[in-house]
Amino acid sequence: MFNLILFGPPGAGKGTQSELLISNYSLVHLSTGDILRSEVAAKSELGIRAKELMDRGDLVPDEVVIGMIKSKLEANPDASGFIFDGFPRTAAQAEALDGLLTDLQTSITMMIALEVSEEELINRLLNRGKESGRSDDQDKSIILNRIEEYRLKTEPIKDHYAAQNKFHPVEGIGSIDDIFDRISAVIDPVI
């Protein structure tokens, strides 16, 4: 199996690049943000609880997102690999993911981190907010809180993958196709 963590702060382009990756490589896309937004839209009990946190730009509790990933892994027994987008976001989530993949007799192949300056992230998110209507993309203080959550809780987990020689930074500035080519250049020798 080929299991990729597409890593980076909010607005780095993980969702956009995931779409290109799933159409070019046969991988199953698992985005905890997308799953949570569909729970919010369905007004499920989980969605109602998560919405309050998401609207503030705070992280949803680890056990909630770990449970979501576990059921998606179980629902795709024939997958040739997964793209994890927006997960793991904490050390506890990274540990849980290792355990879930070990149970499936597989592991993370690599982490690709999209690197984008903070100024560019804020501009991209505010523009996305105008187009998508995502409320957490429309308010600069919520965007700054999400970036802060990333710096404090998420960014440190890259060390876990760097220690296993699985960490690959990729410049996330430029055209969508150029960024995709840079990602492919890292994946192709391994997949």
Binders of ligand AMP among residues 38 to 57 (CB under 6 A) are 53-54, 57
Binders of ligand AMP among residues 95 to 124 (CB under 6 A) are none
- Residues 152-191 as x/- pattern, contact with ligand AMP by CB under 6 A: ----------------------------------------
Decide: is 59 part of the binding site for ligand AMP (CB under 6 A). Answer: yes
Binders of ligand AMP among residues 2 to 31 (CB under 6 A) are 10
Residue (of 51, 35, 54) closest to 43 by Cα position: 51
Q: How far is CA 94 from CA 74, 107, 139, 152, 159, in A?
A: 18, 11, 29, 15, 11
How far apart are CB 189 and ligand AMP at their closest, in Å?
28
Decide: is 144 part of the binding site for ligand AMP (CB under 6 A). Answer: no
Strand order in the sheet with 167-171: 28-31, 81-85, 2-7, 110-115, 167-171
Residue (of 42, 68, 53) closest to 135 by Cα position: 53
CB atoms inside a 10 Å sphere around CB 141: 8
Footprint of ligand AMP on this chain (CB under 6 A)? 10, 32-33, 36, 53-54, 57-60, 65, 86-87, 89, 93, 136, 146
